Chains A and B, each alone.
Chain A
Amino acid sequence: MRILLLVKQVPDVSVSGMEDGKVPRGGPSVLNPQCEYALDAAIGLKEDGDEVVAVCMGPPSARESLFRCLELGADRAYHLCDPDFAGSDVWATAKTLARLVTDKESDFDYILCGQRAADGETGQVPSMVAELIGIPQVVGCYRFSREKGSLHVWRERSGWIERFELEPKALVAVEKGCNVHRLPSISDFLGARKKDLMTISRTDISIEREECGLNGSHTVVKKVHVLTSSREGIKLHLDDTSFAIDTVLEAVRRREP
């Protein structure tokens, strides 16, 4: 099994916190927390003969995050690093990552990635990558297992637990995991320095300058804030359908939930 692991390096908001809904730049960076969960999931699924390939787009400093993946068990890595990639929004990022996958690693079985990045909080890149490659996706996962050559993943939605069985060629976005981050040993650290970490520039993959970086971007994250609902929901029991329909119609009439 070959697992591609898409990761991102982000400013360490656990130390700096947000400033008026924006992530302060210029401070220390870390592997995005949800990518850390994806890394744990990928390494947990790995068996003898399998390969985990980490991919990260970012400035030269992003190599540190790839080294963390290599130290904790990834086998090799790609670093998409080119001034032409700078300033990419979700669309340009997804396009660049998808091109890397189709050009260099099309022989993958599964793609794992973090659900969202701590700096942008958009959560759109995983689905965009899946759509651009043309594979199924399951987002918001927290549990993973292998059974008879396929991948089983779990996610929680509105109080329900959903379980999916995925044949190879699927993307899984990871939302939750263990909060105790693993620590590599010095052996892992030295070993990671000997693993293959390939730097990829724009001209190494089939993407035009206009399609990536600022040129290929249509959106910008201006501010991140948490939405809270002040309205209470209504619980409907489907054993009394006509009452449920009446309740919904009445709510719509009153423009309530």
Chain B
Amino acid sequence: MTRNKLVGNKPTPDLSKVKVLEGNAVSAYLQDESKLTGFAERVFIPCDENGMSSVLNHATEKKVPVTVSARRTGVVGGAVPEGGWILSLEGMDKVVGIGEDDNGFYIQVEPNATLRQIDDILRYGRYEGLEDLTPNAISRLKKEGRHFYPVDPTESNASLGANAACNSSGSRSYRYGPTRDWIRRLRAVLADGTVLDIQRGRVFAENGTFILDYDGEEVVDIPAYEFNSGVKNSAGIFSTEGMDAIDLFIGSEGILGAISLLELRLIPWRPVLSCMAFVPDDDAALMLIDHLKNLDHGPELIEFIDENGIRMIKGEREEGCLFSNMPEFPLFPAAAVMFDFQLDDSLEPMMEEIGSLLETLGSSLDNTWCAHEERERERFRSFRHAIPEAVFSYIASRKLHHPEMHKMGTDISVPDESSAEMMGYYRKMIAASGLRTVMFGHLGDNHPHLELLMEDMEDYEKADRLCHNLAEKAVSLGGCPSAEHGVGRLKRRYLEMMYDEVQIQDMKRLKRQFDRRGVLNSGVLLEAGR
């Protein structure tokens, strides 16, 4: 068999087991966390891959656009329909089983299963009802001890299929990389109902092409550009010379095929110390982050909360709304840096080194928090997650006066060498805009989130311009304006910043080769019908 051949299989269409919703029942499916609202005629809810295939086949025959929808936790409108039908994967949320190969253990899930589900199974060893995908895999895993799935997108209720479709990352990607690196195998249903089963390391592009073998052979050309993997990047279809076929479907936001099954690699769990250091200001925090990045045995994650963020948290805490389970800050005013280290022998000398640095920065190891019990570590995680919640709550209060206002924030990453320049640009542009902001997030990956705290629609327009300028600057530095949220429907303009017209045409051609009638997630990532 040719190394670049993708063999498909088309099940006999059977819609009898697919649930269909119409009328008012559809309204629950029209929004995601972006708060963008769409419209649709019907919702199809299959309970298995055959059902998915049948719905998509039916849609292609009727030439009706279909939007794939899972748990709708996305923030770029990827699950928001623009007419047509919705393919809801809510009936496919099982964790199927555990397997083992030369690279270790893996877990097989249906697309609507969540990170929380697999975390619960692995943390408590709740393997009842799971299948052994290879002989005695579950008993072997029990014997080997606790394992975990290292990708940690902050939203643990998001579906794993959606994580794969937009190549999610999160705080731990600093050490472990994004979702892409952890997918061993997937099954994808194409627009005409054909199912592809792709295992990593089996099918590779040759001379920029794959051969799609179903209903006759067809040559598929991968885009000619080199996908920017030098930064966190969730914008555009992955492409590189000799690429693995599985990577076509990871991060392409469901426009080439809808994922029906995933196998995710697991690694042994190790105890970790979570730390949060408070330093007098943002500059000191950035210096600490630089130092942490240059350590020999660096941390698992490096997260940042700027002075405004800490001030906002303190305000919310005093009002008793959020963060009320956290103690008083050991230093204020302050910026904070979160980092996790593995609990081993290298920890003590490293902490002493960090302590010396903190003293030169006007702080000390006394102005820190740390936690090793998981309950306490979970408090850190909630603390970090509560910042965007506080922003949401502020924007919701402004929206009462300005209904057209939406949350506005950045999702920009840049290469290591451009981090300082980008940070300088953030400061210059924020000062020039006069807007109130909060910055937090994955500075280990040069990927902070800047949230704009707007008062009125005049601010909203300023914020929109600011985000646009910041995105352009990031692209000019080799960065990405959509590092982990995907492009969806809301950030298509950023795609045009990153890719020229020829490259976008390459993506569209590839899309047509997989989906002749352009029905699958039409308008997501790429503009519909052009």
- Chain B 349-392 against A: per-residue CB contact (8 Å), 1 yes, 0 no? 00110110000000011111111111110110000000000000
- Chain B 167-208 against A: per-residue CB contact (8 Å), 1 yes, 0 no? 000000000000000000000000000000000000000000
Check A186/B355 contact, CB under 8 A, given A27-B124, A179-B325, A193-B348: yes
Partner of B369, one of A15, A16, A179, A185: A185
Partner of A180, one of B273, B325, B365, B378: B325
With a CB–CB cut-off of 8 A, which chain A residues contact B348? 190, 193
Are the C-beta atoms of A182 and B327 separated by less than 8 Å?
yes
With a CB–CB cut-off of 8 A, which chain B residues contact A212? none
With a CB–CB cut-off of 8 A, which chain B residues contact A238? none
Check A185/B375 contact, CB under 8 A, given A190-B348, A193-B348: no
Are the C-beta atoms of B374 and A30 separated by less than 8 Å?
yes
Check A24/B372 contact, CB under 8 A, given A180-B326, A182-B327, A186-B351: no
- B275 within 8 Å of A by Cβ? yes
Are the C-beta atoms of A12 and B365 separated by less than 8 Å?
no
- B125 within 8 Å of A by Cβ? yes
A193-B372 Cα distance, complex, nearest whole Å? 13
With a CB–CB cut-off of 8 A, which chain A residues contact B366? 185, 187
- B123 within 8 Å of A by Cβ? yes
Check A183/B125 contact, CB under 8 A, given A15-B374, A31-B373: no
- A14 within 8 Å of B by Cβ? yes
With a CB–CB cut-off of 8 A, which chain B residues contact A29? 373
A24-B123 Cα distance, complex, nearest whole Å? 11
In the complex, what's the smallest C-beta–C-beta distance from A105 to chain B, in angstroms? 26
Partner of A14, one of B125, B351, B375: B375
In the complex, what's the smallest C-beta–C-beta distance from B238 to chain A, in angstroms? 36
- B230 within 8 Å of A by Cβ? no
Q: How many A-B residue pairs have CB under 8 A?
A: 81
Check A183/B376 contact, CB under 8 A, given A24-B124, A26-B125: yes
With a CB–CB cut-off of 8 A, which chain A residues contact B324? 180
Query: Which residues of A23-40 are within 8 A (CB) of B?
Result: 24, 26-31
With a CB–CB cut-off of 8 A, which chain B residues contact A64? 372-373
In the complex, what's the smallest C-beta–C-beta distance from B20 to chain A, in angstroms? 35
In the complex, what's the smallest C-beta–C-beta distance from A110 to chain B, in angstroms? 26
A116-B275 Cα distance, complex, nearest whole Å? 30
- B330 within 8 Å of A by Cβ? yes
- Chain B 231-248 against A: per-residue CB contact (8 Å), 1 yes, 0 no? 000000000000000000
- Chain B 256-279 against A: per-residue CB contact (8 Å), 1 yes, 0 no? 000000000000000001010100
With a CB–CB cut-off of 8 A, which chain A residues contact B355? 186-187
Q: Which residue of A lies closest to B371 (CB)?
A: A183
Query: Which residues of A141-182 are within 8 A (CB) of B?
Result: 179-182
Are the C-beta atoms of A184 and B369 separated by less than 8 Å?
yes
A182-B369 Cα distance, complex, nearest whole Å? 9
In the complex, what's the smallest C-beta–C-beta distance from A10 to chain B, in angstroms? 11
- A78 within 8 Å of B by Cβ? no
Check A185/B367 contact, CB under 8 A, given A12-B374, A12-B375, A190-B351: yes
With a CB–CB cut-off of 8 A, which chain A residues contact B327? 180-183
Are the C-beta atoms of B365 and A187 separated by less than 8 Å?
yes
Q: Which residue of B lies closest to A194 (CB)?
A: B348
- A243 within 8 Å of B by Cβ? no
Q: Which residue of B lies closest to A11 (CB)?
A: B124
Check A186/B370 contact, CB under 8 A, given A26-B124, A27-B123, A180-B325: yes
A190-B356 Cα distance, complex, nearest whole Å? 14
Are the C-beta atoms of A185 and B368 separated by less than 8 Å?
yes
The 4 lowest CB-CB distance pairs between A and B, nearest first, are A28-B374, A183-B369, A27-B124, A187-B365
Can you identify 25 A-B contacts, CB atoms within 8 angstroms?
A15-B123, A15-B375, A16-B124, A26-B124, A26-B125, A27-B124, A28-B374, A30-B374, A30-B376, A180-B325, A180-B327, A181-B376, A183-B370, A183-B371, A184-B370, A185-B367, A186-B277, A186-B365, A187-B365, A187-B366, A188-B370, A189-B351, A189-B372, A190-B348, A190-B351
In the complex, what's the smallest C-beta–C-beta distance from B383 to chain A, in angstroms? 10
In the complex, what's the smallest C-beta–C-beta distance from A193 to chain B, in angstroms? 7
- A85 within 8 Å of B by Cβ? no
A16-B326 Cα distance, complex, nearest whole Å? 21
A31-B373 Cα distance, complex, nearest whole Å? 9
With a CB–CB cut-off of 8 A, which chain A residues contact B326? 180, 183
Check A190/B375 contact, CB under 8 A, given A16-B124, A27-B123, A27-B124: no
Interface centre among A15, A67, A182 (most CB of B within 10 A): A15
A236-B326 Cα distance, complex, nearest whole Å? 45
With a CB–CB cut-off of 8 A, which chain B residues contact A26? 124-125
With a CB–CB cut-off of 8 A, which chain B residues contact A67? 372
With a CB–CB cut-off of 8 A, which chain B residues contact A193? 348
A65-B375 Cα distance, complex, nearest whole Å? 12
Q: Which residue of A lies closest to B119 (CB)?
A: A15
A65-B355 Cα distance, complex, nearest whole Å? 25
A184-B327 Cα distance, complex, nearest whole Å? 10
Are the C-beta atoms of A187 and B368 separated by less than 8 Å?
yes
Query: Which residues of A189-216 are within 8 A (CB) of B?
Result: 189-190, 193
Are the C-beta atoms of B372 and A186 separated by less than 8 Å?
no
Check A185/B370 contact, CB under 8 A, given A26-B124, A180-B327: yes
Partner of A186, one of B124, B275, B373: B275
- Chain B 95-131 against A: per-residue CB contact (8 Å), 1 yes, 0 no? 0000000000000000000000000000111100000
With a CB–CB cut-off of 8 A, which chain A residues contact B124? 16, 24, 26-27
A253-B81 Cα distance, complex, nearest whole Å? 70
Q: Which residue of B lies closest to A184 (CB)?
A: B370
A240-B481 Cα distance, complex, nearest whole Å? 80
In the complex, what's the smallest C-beta–C-beta distance from A203 to chain B, in angstroms? 30
Q: Which residue of B lies closest to A67 (CB)?
A: B372
A185-B355 Cα distance, complex, nearest whole Å? 11
A179-B325 Cα distance, complex, nearest whole Å? 7
Are the C-beta atoms of A186 and B375 separated by less than 8 Å?
no
- Chain A 107-120 against B: per-residue CB contact (8 Å), 1 yes, 0 no? 00000000000000
With a CB–CB cut-off of 8 A, which chain A residues contact B365? 185-187, 190
Query: Which residues of B303-344 are within 8 A (CB) of A?
Result: 324-327, 330
In the complex, what's the smallest C-beta–C-beta distance from A182 to chain B, in angstroms? 6
With a CB–CB cut-off of 8 A, which chain A residues contact B275? 186
With a CB–CB cut-off of 8 A, which chain B residues contact A183? 326-327, 369-371, 376, 379
In the complex, what's the smallest C-beta–C-beta distance from A66 to chain B, in angstroms? 12
In the complex, what's the smallest C-beta–C-beta distance from B393 to chain A, in angstroms? 21
With a CB–CB cut-off of 8 A, which chain B residues contact A28? 123, 373-375
